[in-house]
């Protein structure tokens, strides 16, 4: 596999073709095209943030200053110098500890916008018009709703108190993607009736609208909602009804993305592709492939994607989260995906990353869930900083509001707090969400013209 030994899941990988560099005498194995900023990110989130704030300077062995955009060479030795001669300790990066608890983030270390507190930055991001292009319906329920629906239908739950249930559903102990997905058995158990599905879609839109999400693409697999023999068309009609009600009441626009499941048979994906095509221009905007990635290659489902592309329907595929760039390659070249869900390990394939950049293929980044599933070690290790700096089209999304205990606002705040994104850069991430939406061109241009001035104004410091 192209990535070599990923150890704890961070960016520092050891394999043939990597360069060994040192930051304050701490060794790091980096890819051949890495820049100084990348080495600092591996070393410590505080290091890069300190340089950005002007509190630290990077120098080489001779003591000469080195720029953040300088190219890394084999054996390079970099040193951090501050006004008091102190340097951040290796391993003190922000982000998540080994428990993968997104609530245990520590203090902000990447104060990218001098003079603004974390609360002020949060308020600005909250007020920005935003998108959520990668959010799962069955991963974004309110705990109180789960309890009420379970009581109505006689379903047993791990906890019957909404607060306790919310704590249980919030994933802190996953060893991998499969562990993270295990919680979905609880949510799907209460999603087998039309009224429940409609309510859940409505409430998701309401929650998103409360943080000024203007456009959202909600994904789910209808086949998982048929345990009580609900007809497949009704599994689509029900959420659409909830979304229409939310649009009328809260002014939020939303569309559906139908998902095939990697570990199901290919003919199931073809049936779901047919369903996607049947609802083209009726609320469904794309077809996706979700579920366990490792050992379940996308190319097994290529005929389903051939069908949707032949019908001029959009395609996005979960790839590069639990498997390397080969998974992304299959999503693009076997299945013809127009966007990639996650793409976390794209950096392991430099030629493919260049292709994705050249063809402006958007990446749907989900910071918190990537830490929870151990796709990355912590927030500071996430490659979204690299992708953004290299000009790739990236947006930030929630993935699963319940299991990840997150919002679109929190995802962008974490990029500011742990990855050194400035508010101006946050504005670009937010705008990338609108630019990457599966909307018709004229609709997208009109929406961008409406939201961009407001986003730019809120980003200005």
Catalytic residues: 321
In sequence order, what E strands does 31-121 have? 56-59, 77-82
The rounded distance, in Å, linking the Cα atoms of 417 and 48 is: 12
**Residue in the block written with tokens 């704590």:** 167
Q: Is the dihedral of CA 403, 404, 410, 411 positive or negative?
A: negative
CB hemisphere CA count around 378 (13 angstroms): 23
26-30 and 56-59 beta bridge pairing: unpaired
The rounded distance, in Å, linking the Cα atoms of 87 and 224 is: 52
314-319 and 19-23 beta bridge pairing: unpaired
Q: Are the beta carbons of 41 and 387 closer than 8 angstroms?
A: no
In sequence order, what E strands does 249-382 have? 253-261, 284-290, 314-319, 339-342, 363-365
CA angle 377, 378, 383 (to 5 degrees): 85
Per DSSP, the three-state class of 4 is coil
H-type alpha helices, 292-349: 302-310, 325-333
77-82 and 19-23 beta bridge pairing: parallel
DSSP at 139: G
What's the distance, CA 274 to chain centroid?
27
| Cross-strand bridge partners of residue 39 | none
């Amino acid at each position: 596999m192209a990535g070599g030994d990923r150890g704890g899941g961070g960016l520092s990988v050891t394999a043939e073709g990597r360069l060994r560099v040192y930051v304050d005498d701490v060794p790091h194995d980096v890819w051949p095209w890495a820049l100084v900023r990348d080495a600092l990110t591996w070393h410590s989130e505080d290091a890069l943030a300190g340089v950005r704030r002007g509190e630290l300077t990077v120098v080489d062995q001779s003591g000469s200053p080195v720029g953040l955009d300088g190219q890394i060479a084999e054996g390079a030795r970099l040193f951090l110098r501050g006004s008091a001669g102190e340097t951040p300790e290796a391993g003190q990066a922000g982000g998540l500890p080994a428990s993968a608890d997104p609530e245990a983030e520590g203090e902000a270390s990447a104060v990218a916008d001098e003079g603004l507190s974390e609360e002020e930055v949060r308020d600005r991001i909250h007020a920005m018009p935003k998108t959520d292009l990668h959010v799962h319906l069955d991963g974004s329920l309110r705990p109180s709703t789960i309890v009420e629906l379970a009581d109505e239908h006689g379903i047993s739950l791990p906890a019957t108190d909404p607060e306790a249930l919310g704590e249980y559903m919030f994933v802190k102990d996953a060893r991998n993607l499969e562990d993270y997905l295990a919680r979905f058995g609880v949510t799907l158990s209460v999603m087998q009736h039309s009224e429940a599905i409609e309510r859940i879609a409505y409430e998701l839109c309401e929650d998103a609208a409360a943080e000024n999400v203007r456009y959202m693409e909600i994904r789910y697999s209808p086949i998982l909602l048929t345990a009580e023999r609900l007809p497949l068309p009704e599994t689509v009609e029900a959420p659409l009804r909830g979304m229409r009600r939310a649009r009328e009441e809260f002014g939020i626009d939303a569309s559906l993305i139908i998902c095939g499941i990697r570990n199901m048979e290919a003919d199931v994906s073809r049936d779901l592709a047919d369903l996607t095509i049947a609802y083209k221009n009726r609320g469904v905007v794309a077809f996706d492939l979700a579920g366990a990635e490792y050992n379940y290659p996308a190319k097994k489902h290529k005929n389903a994607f051939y069908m949707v592309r032949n019908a001029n329907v959009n395609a996005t595929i979960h790839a590069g989260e639990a498997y390397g760039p080969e998974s992304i390659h299959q999503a693009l070249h076997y299945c013809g995906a127009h966007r990639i869900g996650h793409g976390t390990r794209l950096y392991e394939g430099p030629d493919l990353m260049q292709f994705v950049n050249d063809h402006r293929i958007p990446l749907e980044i989900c910071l918190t869930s990537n830490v929870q599933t151990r796709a990355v070690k912590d927030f500071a290790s996430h490659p979204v900083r690299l992708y953004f700096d290299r000009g790739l089209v990236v947006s930030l999304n929630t993935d699963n509001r319940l299991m990840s205990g997150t919002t679109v606002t929190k995802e962008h705040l974490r990029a500011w707090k742990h990855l050194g994104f400035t508010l101006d850069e946050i504005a670009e991430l937010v705008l990338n969400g609108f630019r990457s939406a599966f909307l018709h061109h004229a609709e997208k241009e009109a929406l961008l013209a409406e939201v961009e001035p407001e986003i730019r104004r809120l980003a200005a410091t």
